Structure 1
Amino acid sequence: MRKLAWIDEHLGTLLLTEVTADVIRALATARRAEGSGVSTVNRYLALVRAILRRAAFDWDWIEKPPPVKLRPEPRGRTVWLQQDQAKALFAELPEHLRGPFVFSLATGLRMSNVIRLTWDQVHIQRGMLLFDGNDMKGGDPFAPALSDSALDVLRHQFGKHPRYVFTYKGRAMTRASNSAWYKAKRRAGMAHLRWHDLRHTWATWHVLAGTSLDVVQDLGGWKTRVMVRRYAHLQPGAHRAQARNVDGDLAGFMENFD
């Protein structure tokens, strides 16, 4: 496990009794110094806390676990593109990023699943992709349905590489958010945009078009409704029928208005 290996590099020479609150704070600082965000740091701290609690309460290796305080996490950031903004950014992108860009907007897939997409994961006739659990952030297999736009992008990529759908100079891509991406979004006046915001854009466009949150959750591969709730306020006229349930109780009020 990657997290355990990193923790072992920093704490592996210490006895459990030497892992104090100060040591844990230093561990969090070291993780932040490597570029991790608050949420990622908290995942590492939570793992350390779980190990220390097991050591104290289940295994009796230490008398009492030190306090592990998680950092306050900012509320989810949701930035999305209007259609004209997406077109303006597309016009600034180099050719090798245009396919991944449109495919991300058409599927809502995370960057890693787009740029590492292989032809054996593509099932054109069934209109779907099939990912093994090892390929997904949540660890579960995922078989998203594909829109006509997504299928068009795939057909455009036919014959360009025997294994990978999207490539750069004949080789597999490692990141889409590279220097070419940063230059393109600055030229388009969208320096604040992250590649992950294309996933937010996809979800937002769906909700604005009337796709239910349950369907968006399934199409996007979210395990729980929590992450999808950020788009709930965008549903056009959501629950309007239920909102009218009190109209009968208000009957006659309006005729008494001046």
Structure 2
Amino acid sequence: MKQLKLKWLLLGSLLTSTGTSFMWPLTTVYMHDYLHQSLSLAGIVLLLESLVMIGGSYIGGYIFDHLQIHFWLQLAISLSVISLLLLIFLNGWPAYPILLIINALGGAIANTIVNSLATLIVEKDSRYVFNMLYFMANIGVVLGTMLVGIVVKYNIRLIFVITFIMFVFFWLIAKFYYQVPARAKSSSTSAGDSTKQLTKTSRRHFWLIMGLLLAYLAIQLGYSQWQSNLSIYMQGLGISLTKYSYLWTLNGILIVILQPILNFFENHYH
């Protein structure tokens, strides 16, 4: 069995990030302007999608620890592929939010498993691995949001077609290159278990972690407005959907440019 390679994890991250970046900038606009639903209802759909993703992340973690990774990863990606295929033809109300939520479940499970697989990459430092995964995900945001501004001018259904194709490629990569020997997973898990027995998080570190999580929550509460209200507000100002997508592109470019700089300071002044 082939050893898991970082380059395939990075390519998978790029494909999924690019594909999903075709979808989420348009969610609120599509439900409000194309399906003629209220912003409140669109917000409820986004809330349900987020809750499903939380559940999917937990399921993905459980699968990595207890079940056969490759089979369940393929199944999770297949769930996204099937829902995206159906979205090409069934994108009205209420089919659109239902399929959107199903796609979110499959994507969250798969994303958690892929991030967990990254811990098994032994030839690179773990910080480098996760920094590169984050970097490739943001490259995907840049590409996806830039292209969606172009594609949406022609036919919004092409958004679902392109996302479907990218997830099919992701499925193929996972099938042939994400097969992990059982001994690699079990040794990693055993090491983690022994560490848990030997160390215990101190009270000071516990509250430090809680503070970081609360700060992250506060940031995300504001950041979520990008994906919900901001698109409708900008259109109300006469700013086109294409320019809204380019704003996301600029956001991704800034992250891509600044991340290596932050990594430099982290590596040299931590």
TM range (shorter): under 0.3
Which protein has the larger Cα radius of gyration, Structure 1 or Structure 2? 1
TM-score (norm 2): 0.24
* Higher helix proportion: 2
- With a CA cutoff of 8 Å and minimum separation of 6, indicate the structure with the bigger relative contact order: 2
TM-score (norm 1): 0.25
